[in-house]
Chain A
Amino acid sequence: QITLKESGPTMVKPTQTLTLTCTFSGFSLTSSGVGVAWIRQPPGKALEWLTLIYWDDDKRYSPSLKTRLTITKDTSKNQVVLTMTNMTLVDTATYYCAHHLPYCINGVCSSALDYWGQGTLVTVSS
């Protein structure tokens, strides 16, 4: 049974750095192909893909947020950490982490997000 849970501050001030932790169970981030992604959703708005870390420590970022995001993993603790710098009001959102599921069909491979945490609402306010 795969589970993920986000933790971190519920409120940060403008210009501060946000640090969120995703603690997971039911899979290992040392297994080939596995990854953990972060996605956010402003209140009443759509999902926005942020970043992904793979089992081999390869990292991918949203181009529009790349300069502000850092993703790291601690496989001994089964945790993935998201850092976002210079927070502003528009960064108010629910932040989700999710299990990145690789799959291959007829030799062609892709991926999906099959298990999600419950999300954590982060409010940016002075």
Chain B
Amino acid sequence: GNSVTQMEGPVTLSEEAFLTINCTYTATGYPSLFWYVQYPGEGLQLLLKATKADDKGSNKGFEATYRKETTSFHLEKGSVQVSDSAVYFCALRDVQGSSNTGKLIFGQGTTLQVKP
């Protein structure tokens, strides 16, 4: 079945460092891909999305490009801040047979800790 695999965490970086969180997926068809962020004690917030191959999603300095050839959707940010400390989830939007259910399939999450 469809699945998402993220790099193991936690990832610990110093402020202003470059961030990459790897995400690869297995899916039939053409799923949409998402990054969600969960700050401590809060729900999930959509960070960015891409709906077709070669699309680049971006928001708040974060970027991710939908790479169909490598089935990847890696999250990047050029200069992280302490406030970016959170858990990041990669997800794909599942298309189940001929019925478009749209459920999300999540990776296991990657914890990011940014130190001053």
Q: Do A and B bind each other?
A: no
Chain B residues close to A by CB (< 8 Å): none
- List chain A positions with a Cβ less than 8 A from chain B: none
